[in-house]
A = this chain, B = another copy of it.
């Protein structure tokens, strides 16, 4: 297996204008791995409490997801409860109970140490560094983060930046209202590439001297935005791990696979949007992004 993800395995309770879900499978590592598993084998490192519905979690194992790195700890699982506004663009956190996730110290099983592609979910920079210390020369490391870590653990975050190839981050978390300037700031501190996720406004890939933009898939109805960004990251890294193509053109394609995964994720609660999504359905969605964005430049004749 080529791809490792370290992140949260949670139970989400979600209220949208269209309905409610209680204790649904959630967390960044769950969304990420379900999306990535359409493209490559995935190894998950995380923690759950002794109340976690393991039968439901193990169902995703059938997708080619290795869950042996998901530790079971005594105590409650990580629970998040949130409510989306009528336009689905903003959400309110009603409750966060970290449970066993508060003491999460990622342990990479020896069999996972040589995984070539690594995604560090949004956890404390110290933990991200701890994961990297346990890996043996990965080919590509990508990480997520949030404004809270950038501010409260700045030195450690800067240390992470020196050791990763790629930062994948939400535009609201990047600390500058101009995403292009923010991306350059990051690239001056380590990563050669930055992906900025902008929700319904798409995603940006910044490289030195070059940018690529992929819009969100046009949808008249979005059911539940939870997990869209993590699904994007799973599609993006899943594609890179599958193809091994780290060229600029390969990364552009990976952006489109990520965007396609985001569009599946938001069509239902939890990971329900991936039901019935085969590699052929995925390819069809990816092709539709070409029709959404491509044009020909003609000469300007008088």
Binding site for B on A (CB under 8 A): 39, 86-89, 177-178, 180-181, 184, 198, 201-202, 204, 210-215, 218-222, 242-243, 249, 252-253, 255-256, 279, 282-283, 286-287, 290-300
Contact = CB atoms under 8 A, between A and B. Distances in A.
Contact of A181 (B220, B291, B297): B220
Nearest to A182: B220
Given A87-B177, A215-B213, A220 B184 contact: yes
Nearest to A250: B298
Contact of A213 (B39, B210, B279, B293): B293
A217 to B, nearest CB: 9
Contact of A292 (B89, B212, B220, B298): B212
A177 to B, nearest CB: 4
A242 B201 CA distance: 31
A245 to B, nearest CB: 9
The number of times this chain is found in the oligomer is 2
A178 to B, nearest CB: 6
Contacts of A202: 201-202, 213, 215
A182 B212 CA distance: 27
Nearest to A293: B293
Contact of A177 (B89, B219, B293): B89
A177 B292 CA distance: 20
B300 A178 contact: no
B297 A290 contact: yes
Contacts of A184: 220
Given A253-B298, A295-B249, A220 B180 contact: yes
B300 A283 contact: yes
Contacts of A300: 39, 242, 279, 282-283
Contacts of A243: 298
Contact of A220 (B178, B204, B222, B256): B178
A145 B258 CA distance: 35
B249 A218 contact: no
A53 to B, nearest CB: 32
A56 B293 CA distance: 39
Contacts of A177: 86-89
Which 6 pairs show the lowest CB-CB distances between chains A and B? A87-B177, A252-B295, A213-B215, A201-B201, A181-B220, A293-B293
6 contacts: A86-B177, A181-B221, A202-B215, A213-B215, A286-B297, A294-B294
Nearest to A86: B177
A89 B220 CA distance: 25
Contact of A295 (B87, B256, B297): B256
B87 A211 contact: no
A293 B294 contact: yes
A255 B295 contact: yes
A287 B299 CA distance: 10
